[in-house]
Structure 1
Amino acid sequence: MMEAFNRCLASPVHDSRLLGFSGLLSARGHCGVGFIRSAQPARFTSKSSIPTCRTLRCSPSAIPFDVSPPPIEEDPIADLSHFGRLRVTGEDRVQFLHNQSTAKFDDLTEGEGCDTVLVTATARTIDIAHAWVMKNAVLLFLSPSTSKSITEMLNKYIFYADKVEIHDITKQTYFFTLMGPKSSTVMEMLDLGDLVGQPYGTHRHYSVNGTPVTIGVGSILFKDGFSFMLSSASARSVWRSLLSHGAIPMGINAWERLRVLQGRPAPGRELTKDYNVLEAGLSMAVSVDKGCYKGQETISRLITYDGVKQRLWGIRLSGQAEPGSSIMQDGNKVGVLSSYSIGRKDGDHVGLAYVKRRINSAEVEVGDVKGTLVDAPFLSYSNLGEGKSIAS
């Protein structure tokens, strides 16, 4: 049984840390998260004025990690501990991030959050980060492959007089995301209902059995759902409590399938130096009125002169296709496939593709495979105005 469970968790990533909490449990011989017999039920205690939460009584669960996304009407939970987490401290931290990324940080106050994009000086994409503004720090959640390079990049822009420090806390913390429309019900059952209905990025601090846990609104792929950042001391009990209240665990491969279905761009796929932040569909994370910041001049010109010539689409495919393949229409190349995945069912095929903004129709070809371009839920082109869609 253990051998079958390990096959189910199979991932191209072999680093035990990158497998996250679920991989750690598997490596230590646990057959499913629910069989962590040493874990105590999580007792959530607010660090604000909210009353102490009840003790959670958790029963063992033998639900394995699936390689396909659970139905989104369920409550998938993903261990994203392999994602990077940077803690930015110092008196100048907010202004520093305001200048180094696309979001308007100086409008945010303690307990709020946002998405922001790290770009080059010419607005080419590096990564989209989720940020939590705390009392003494700003926390950035980054894609797994960019944490080191972004840390190095940000440190290069800290000048002698700047009171800013960058700390990589990825190895000291865990990170879970709870998704789905029923996630609010799970939060209510955990006596964490004070977060339900709060704006995206809102986060609050709690204590579980005496150890700190920070929970925020939003789940990386969705504006709804919830994110949990916690220490190793509380990770097991919190994970087990979430499972016992109906959350369904999702493995890394399944999360990647859901990423493509949702349309969230990823570094090395959609976020590269070949594409700018507006082409990548990240307008919702770009401020156009906050003054000077890295990449701002290029972004302003692109908007003013309608300079965005291509955009990112979801694509439904009739069969398998290789990322990097050309997207063709009427014998002409109109784009390139950046990501491919099996869809919700094994017979479904989906992808993400950069395609020219103005083409004749949504019907395209990828080699011998037929494709239909569709809007991806995660993406936004609010800054592009007219001409963002396929010509009728």
Structure 2
Amino acid sequence: MTQELQEVQTTAGASFGEVFDASVPVSFGNDAIALKAAKDGAALYDRSHWGKICLWGDDRTRFLHNQSTNDFNSLKPGQTCETVFLTSTARTLDLATAYILDDAIWLLVSPNRTQKLIEWFDRYLFPMDKVDVEEIAETTNTFSLIGEKSHTILANLGITLELEENTHQLVQLADVEVRLATGNGLATAGYTLFCPAEDAAKVWQQIADAGAVPLGETAWEQLRIGQGRPLPDAELTEDYNPLEAGLWQTISFEKGCYIGQETIARLNTYQGVKTQLWGIRLAAPEKPGAIVLVGEEKVGQLTSVVETDDGAIGLAYIRTKAGGAGLEVKVEETVGKVVDVPFLTRGYLD
């Protein structure tokens, strides 16, 4: 984060804390207002601490096609997709969003995954591969608009183009060229904007002045868990595959071989998903890692939890045979109910 951006956000009421070794706005002192804006207005979330990786070279598309779950060969410049990087046994490394440019592909990855993915790519790059990998987080800032009126904020900024779903385009924001993309990392209306780091403070201020409500990391965590977006080291670990994690929408079942493909294909063909990620509402918060019970039977494990004004909400892996939405459970000694969350998809299990 640039000093200028931090000063602008401090003026807006931000308090800062360390999140994944980065100083980020934890709260703007307005969490309840920001969460309401994210639902029926427009909230502005700084994602600059998320990882950003750029792949250059003639073989970049082929390489990512072979490295992850989505079909990169079918994508054209100006399109985006979500994709998952897997181990050879289909365990999840990260959920990423890819942006196809004319001469490169950008990956927006989880805040704690940049270095691991770059090292992972290096394992599979050979001297003859025409692929260069570069971290671009220091030179590019990322902001997301979240909420049903995000388009109104863009209109207030003079941006009136209609982007199709899963696309991005360069736009002019005052005197700054910004890359605008549909989507914001959640299953809700909004956009993501990329701008040069030297212009980040100016862009942030213009978006806020146009009516977007600043939203900090504390509120984002409530949104993430309430929506069901899985996070590395919590829901995305080497204990689970992307089918179990509810990331069916990121997987092409028609494409050819990629790392982890055999396991994914087998699980899909033989309907072998034995556990699933669900939302869970709790009477009181419990710690991640707590056991989920039906009666005295262990049926799952809590992975994330956060307190809200309406009680505690969490995410948990639940055995498929135990049931799904509506299931009454106990988490340690706390009663809870399994609920649907909008970010997750279930393929043949729906």
The number of aligned residues is 337
Which residue, 13, 16, 30 being the options, matches 1:66?
30
2:328 paired with 1:373: no
Contact 1:195 1:217 in 2 (8 A): no
2:23 paired with 1:19: yes
Q: For residues 1-392 of structure 1, what are the structure 2 equivalents within 5 Å?
A: 9-13=15-19, 15=21, 18-20=22-24, 64-68=28-32, 69-71=34-36, 72-196=39-163, 198-200=164-166, 202-208=167-173, 210-222=175-187, 224-343=189-308, 345=309, 347-359=310-322, 362-382=327-347, 385=348, 388=349
Matching residue's letter, 1:263: G
Matching residue's letter, 1:358: K
Q: Distance in 2 between matches of 1:125 and 1:184?
A: 33
CA positional deviation for 1:213: 1.6
Q: Distance in 2 between matches of 1:147 and 1:316?
A: 32
Q: Distance in 1 between matches of 2:241 and 2:273?
A: 9
Matching residue's letter, 2:304: S
Q: Deviations over 1:244-268 (max 9, x none)?
A: 1110000112111110011000000
Contact 2:85 2:93 in 1 (8 A): yes
Contact 2:142 2:195 in 1 (8 A): yes
Query: In structure 2, the residue corresponding to 1:194 is in which secondary structure?
Result: coil
Question: Percent identity among equivalent residues?
Answer: 37
Q: List alignment gaps of at least 5 residues for structure 2.
A: 1-6
Q: Deviations over 1:297-344 (max 9, x none)?
A: 00011011111100000001111111000000021000000000013x
Please give the TM-score of this superposition, normalised by the length of structure 1. Answer: 0.82
Matching residue's letter, 2:165: P
CA positional deviation for 1:103: 0.5
Contact 2:140 2:196 in 1 (8 A): yes
Query: In structure 2, the residue corresponding to 1:70 is in which secondary structure?
Result: helix
Matching residue's letter, 1:264: R
Q: Distance in 1 between matches of 2:222 and 2:45?
A: 12
Contact 1:75 1:179 in 2 (8 A): yes
Q: Which has the larger radius of gyration?
A: 1
Query: In structure 1, the residue corresponding to 2:346 is in which secondary structure?
Result: coil
Q: Distance in 2 between matches of 1:381 and 1:139?
A: 27
Q: Distance in 2 between matches of 1:6 and 1:178?
A: 17
Matching residue's letter, 2:207: L
Q: List alignment gaps of at least 5 residues for structure 1.
A: 24-62
Query: In structure 2, the residue corresponding to 1:11 is in which secondary structure?
Result: strand
CA positional deviation for 1:231: 1.1
CA positional deviation for 1:5: 8.1
Contact 1:122 1:295 in 2 (8 A): yes
Q: Bigger CA drift: 68-77 or 154-163?
A: 68-77
Contact 1:85 1:140 in 2 (8 A): yes
Matching residue's letter, 2:74: D
Matching residue's letter, 2:19: V
* Bigger strand fraction: 2
Q: Distance in 2 between matches of 1:184 and 1:5?
A: 25
Q: Distance in 1 between matches of 2:178 and 2:11?
A: 29
Superposed CA RMSD in Å reads 2.1
Q: Bigger CA drift: 301-310 or 134-143?
A: 301-310
Q: Distance in 2 between matches of 1:10 and 1:240?
A: 18
